Structure 1
Amino acid sequence: MPLFFKKTRYVTLRPEEKRELPEGLWVKCPQCGEILYHKDIAKNLKVCQKCNYHFRLTAQERLQFTLDEGSFKEFDRDLVANNPLAFPGYEEKLAAAREATGLMEAIVTGEGTIGGYPVVIGVLDSRFIMGSMGAAVGEKLARAAEAALAQRLPLLVFVASGGARMQEGVVSLMQMAKTAAALEALSQARVPYISVLTDPTTGGVAASFGMLGDVILAEPGALIGFTGPRVIEQTIRQKLPEGFQRAEFLLERGMLDMVVHRKQMRSVLVRLLRWYKS
């Protein structure tokens, strides 16, 4: 038995002396649980370095990662939704979404260049009422298609949406037909339309312009489908296959043309645009 014991001293910091880490320095990957330094993940295009999980991007980030620097010119920024059905609390929800995202609506449209090739582009942002499609989103996308047709430029749309916006009821459902008609005009004129499906692409958006691309690309692991897997399981009372409604599952069944890692997305788009140009 030792003759001497060393006393351990514990120091208790007063609340005002405790160091607090600034918020947003670290991000936990929802797939593998890895703790990631936010600057490292930003350099990696917001893809987990350990498991390649693709974090959702904002519209601004998507434009930054895709277009040539300084080439973007926005269309119809001030075209916004109203409340056609006088849905309770809808105006407040729109105001909160605008405050949180800095966007006026769930889609940003405009034109720019990728590798020097001009395109008309639309990017949905899932932070804005889950990227849902109401009258303004449908109108902005239709106008983007019309601009692409007028200039005979390829239309590129990055899709991220929970579907039609319930607060606008049948008005939102009408946008499915409206956007499909605008894209059919592009098809008749042989002007290319490329859709890139990201996580999530569901509901009326998946059932309309999401799946109407001449070339349909998707990011790895993106959830793509009309109805979510949990609702389907509850309805049919059966266990769904592993990876059901994920991009890789759909690729194997011929519903997509390619699943493209975010690091390769820009180079794949450049190759497609070069091919269309030739």
Structure 2
Amino acid sequence: MFEDFFNVVKKRFNDGEEEYKPPMFKCPRCQGTSPLSKYEELHRVCPKCNYHGRLSSTERIAITVDKESFREFNGNMRGADPLDFPEYKEKQAELRGSTGLSEAVITGTATIKGSPVVIGVMDSRFMMGSMGSVVGEKITRAFEYATEHKLPVVMFTASGGARMQEGIVSLMQMAKTSGAVKLHSDAGGLYIAVMTDPTTGGVTASFASLGDIIIAEPKVLIGFAGRRVIEGTIKQRLPEDFQLAEFMYDKGFVDMIVERRKLRSVISHLLKLHGFDSKEA
């Protein structure tokens, strides 16, 4: 009897790897569960309700641009501490170590299905993608490079707004980035803004809303102030879908809502429609 029991346990132990079930993903929206491997395979999109989870900047670049085409610039820029804000330097150093990022945005050149672009991707893992002096400077330089080299800009936004640890310096980035977008536009450049979850505050109130074409992923949060602040100010109850991409689309703030699996193709199509075909970036 004990020998039979031992053989059963031994078989289960030896076959453990084959019987192992992958960890499960629980969707924060529909509360449904699915294999984590399936969620990752769909680039962090829930297979049951189409919830679009957040991507890191490197993941976003990997699924958007042509393989090995991305060339980063200004990658070593790091923020200062103009207000000598308590623990701000330590927080930045900690995030640089844990995320591998120097700041909350990555910029560079790449091709998307052969079309050359200047691309920028904000990363919510670094201080919620807040826009400090370095983020504003990198985005400004990206637009200036695009203007000089007559390239279109594709900018993926994800931010909690201006970085208050830098005070007025962070707020001035709104004007600086908006000015760079205007110069790019005056030179005939194309700017495609892609709003991802969340795009709020001073980023929404500046370069994120100035795209010639504004795209949003489904049901992402887009807004300036938070719901509770607005309701408390106007003393009215807001619609349940207030500040979601679909609400913004209905009001004309967003031009297109595109699922993640289609974004690369849609952006490529838009670039080609505007004459940016296979060239050297």
| TM-score computed with the length of structure 1 as normaliser | 0.90
Aligned partner of 2:45 in structure 1 is 47
Deviation at 1:214, TM superposition (A): 0.5
Write the mapping of 1:39-118 to structure 2, written as runs, cut at 5 A. 39-118=37-116
The 1-side partners of 2:104 and 2:153 are apart by 18
Aligned-pair identity in percent equals 54
Counterpart position of 1:155 = 153
CA RMSD of aligned residues (A): 1.6
One-letter code of the match for 1:111?
A: T
For residues 39 and 76 of structure 1, the distance between their equivalents in structure 2, rounded to whole angstroms, comes to 34
Moved over 3 A (4+): none
Give the whole-Å Cα distance in 2 for the aligned partners of 1:160 and 1:145. Answer: 18
CA distances 1:81-138 after superposition (whole Å, capped 9, x unpaired) = 0101100110111112112211000000001010110100000001100000000000
Counterpart of 2:193? 195
SS in 1 for 2:139: helix
Question: In the alignment, what sits opposite 1:181?
Answer: 179
Name the structure, 1 or 2, with higher relative contact order (CA <8 Å, separation 6+).
Answer: 2
Q: Distance in 2 between matches of 1:250 and 1:107?
A: 24
| In structure 2, distance between residues paired with 1:245 and 1:27 | 26
Q: 1:129 aligned to 2:127?
A: yes
Unaligned runs of 5+ in 2: 1-15, 277-281
Q: How far did 1:230 drift?
A: 2.1
Instruction: Determine whether 1:261 maps to 2:263.
Output: no
Once residues 59 and 43 of structure 2 are traced to their aligned partners in structure 1, the CA distance between those partners, rounded to angstroms, is 9
Q: CA deviation at 1:43?
A: 1.1
In structure 1, the residue matched to 2:12 is none
In the TM superposition, residue 26 of structure 1 has moved relative to its aligned partner by: 2.7
Q: 1:231: how far off?
A: 1.8
- What is the CA–CA distance in structure 2 between the aligned matches of 1:186 and 1:104, rounded to whole Å? 26
CA shift, 1:235, in A, is 2.5
The Cα offsets for residues 17-46 of structure 1, whole Å up to 9 and x where unpaired, read as: xx9xx9x93321100112232221111121
Q: Note closer, same or farther for the CA distance 1:220–1:205 as it changes in structure 2 (3 Å cut).
A: same
Which of 130, 139, 143 is the equivalent residue of 1:145?
143
- CA distance, structure 2, for counterparts of residue 98 and residue 231 of structure 1: 32
Helix, strand or coil at the partner of 1:277 = coil
How many residues of Structure 1 are paired with residues of Structure 2 in the alignment? 258
Residue 237 of structure 2: aligned partner: 239
- SS, match of residue 140 in structure 2: helix
Q: CA deviation at 1:150?
A: 1.2
**Letter of the 2:272 counterpart:** R
Q: Which residue of 1 aligns with 2:117?
A: 119
Amino acid at match of 1:78: N
How many Å separate the matches in 2 of 1:211 and 1:217? 10
Deviations along 1:146-171, one digit per CA (max 9) or x if unpaired, are: 11111111011000000000100000
Q: Specify the alignment match of 2:225 in structure 1.
A: 227
Instruction: Tell me the TM-score normalized by structure 2.
Output: 0.89
Amino acid of the residue matched to residue 49 of structure 2?
Answer: C
Write out per-residue CA displacement over residues 52-78 of structure 1, whole angstroms, 9 at most, x where no aligned residue.
000011001100110011110001110
Secondary structure of the equivalent of 1:163?
coil
Distance 2:91 2:183 in 1: 34
SS at 1:185 equivalent: helix
3-state SS, counterpart of residue 274 of structure 2: helix
Question: In structure 2, what is the Cα distance between the partners aligned to 1:273 and 1:144?
Answer: 17
Structure 1: tracts of 5 or more residues without a match:
1-18
The answer to which of 29-38 and 85-94 deviates more is 29-38
